[in-house]
Amino acid sequence: MINFALANQPSSSVQINAMTEEDIRHSLDLQIANWKSEPFYIKGPHTDIQIPLDYFQFDIDTTVSQFVNMHKRKWYELFLDKYSGTTSLIVSLDDRVDTLLDPYVYISKEDVKEQLIEHASVLKRSPLTIEENEVALRNMKRVAFGMEVIPNDVVQLGDLIQVLDEYTFHQGDVFSLLEFAEDENLTVDAYTLSFFASVLNTASLESSLAVLERHAQSTVVPYARPGIDVHIDKITPKDFKIYNTSEHPVVMKVKRSDNRLIVALHSFDEKNEYNFSLKEEVVPFKTIYRYSSELTGRQERVLREGSSGVHVTLFKTQQNGPFEQEERLGETFYAPINKIVEIAPDRGEAAEAEREQVEGNEGKESHEVDLDGEGQPLAPEGEKPLTDKAGRPVIQ
């Protein structure tokens, strides 16, 4: 019995016992269709390429003809060492394979194409594992980086740095920080993830990485500029997702230098350059007065200093020679913190000042004065408040 060597497994061989040429063609068509039912990948330390299956062109007629001619050989030739009793499929590659492999300058394109043909000729299902040119990889240039002082509250950064250093963003791949941490079984708290994501976001804004999902903090944080910070929540969940829009792979290098975290992105020469800008509008705080029986006359006591809020609009610019395109990525609002001041109940002018401050704030009347320092007005005497401090309805 003479077989086609398909997938290196007898179960995948087309068995030829008194089969007509048409039967052979039909069997091969079924085997090829079955092989094409699953995606085919090229894998390497920095390589993850899916090859469209229509890039493989199978010459069934020539394959069958060669097999039939071999089968008709003289009987004694079957015992020669050079005769294997099997024949592989004749395969060629579409020219689009060259275009697909062009961005990966650190691999030998011709060697990879030969290996692709070898894999397809026996319908091998496993990914093609290739070698990479380390010299070419070292010639990647740094295209962007983010650097921030590590807050004292960030205590689980080591494991994250170890697994994310040399991480490669492949073309079109979506990277989810929460999913990555879960897949790697990392026990990293949300605060540490938020800090890392904020630094990565800074770097991504100057690269081909595009943000798919980002959530901002409710207040300005010390480790990131307003408008760039990221809030991660494992419960809600709130994730940080990015993907690579470039045809080139982007390699992330992460390290800790003294008390700073550095996230650098490396790639090959890009046609496009990226940068970002922030437009900030300051939102002034208000002064909220509350009465205190401990004070008389013009006495007053500051319970909490105020700080202004900010409204930030983020823009990302892509430049290719003289051509420039600006995209507004989003807006973030950080509410101001109102100043809280205690005054004497009999201070009429202060009450008038309070009335001016509160009036117009969600239509509240002047008697709704904040008495707890958190911006929540006191209900009129004899009545229960309609909401608590979080704005939730209170059962009457």
Using pLDDT thresholds of 50, 70 and 90, give the confidence band for residue 62: confident
Range with the poorest average pLDDT among 73-77, 171-175, 243-247, 295-299: 73-77
| Cis bond upstream, residue 237 (ω within 30) | yes
Q: Quick one: which of 186, 20, 5 has its CA closest to 88?
A: 5
pLDDT of residue 100 exceeding 60: yes
pLDDT of residue 3 exceeding 50: yes
Annotate 37-48 with DSSP letters as a single string.
TS-EEEEETTEE
| Token pair recorded at residue 200 | 């990565």
If you average pLDDT over residues 140-157, what whole number do you get? 89
Question: Between the CA of residue 360 and those of 59, 166, 368, 389, what are the distances in Å?
Answer: 79, 54, 12, 19
If you average pLDDT over residues 18-32, what whole number do you get? 82
Q: Quick one: which of 385, 364, 379, 372 has its CA closest to 340?
A: 372
Model pLDDT, residue 386:
44
pLDDT in tens, 78-92: 445 444 455 689 999
What percent of the chain clears pLDDT 70, i.e. is strictly above it?
Answer: 77
pLDDT in tens, 346-374: 765 545 555 555 444 433 333 334 544 44
Model pLDDT, residue 19:
65
Annotate 328-372 with DSSP letters as a single string.
EEEEEEE--B-EEEEE-TT-HHHHHHHHHHHTTSTT--TT--BSS
If you average pLDDT over residues 121-146, what whole number do you get? 84
